[in-house]
Amino acid sequence: MLKLEELRKEIKGEIFVQEDMAKHDIKKVTGVADILVKPSGKKDLAKVLQLLRKSRFPYVVINRKGKVLFPEDRYHGVVIVMD
């Protein structure tokens, strides 16, 4: 199980809970993410992915230009936003 406290402790980037993705200038993506992570760089991304894989928590990685469609306007998992 993913522990939000552990994620916050391990990474330097930003973490948002129940976050409307429209607030983050992500082109063509709408909906609410249970958890939205903005890693501070490649090393931070590697830490995030390691924790998510270990916990078997669902996730998707997108960039600011990508188009991702979420069923029912919601993704039940972690959304990782890369520049």
Number of structural domains the chain divides into: 1
Q: In CATH, what number is assigned to the domain containing residue 15?
A: 3.30.43.10
Q: Find all residues with CB under 8 Å of 64, minimum gap 6, and list them.
A: 25, 26, 27, 81, 82, 83
Which token pair is 79? 């959304």
Tens of pLDDT along the chain (83 residues) come to 888 999 999 999 999 999 998 888 777 777 889 999 999 999 999 999 899 989 988 888 887 776 665 655 677 888 888 77
Is this structure's pTM higher than 0.85? no
**Segments forming the whole domain that contains residue 10:** 4-82
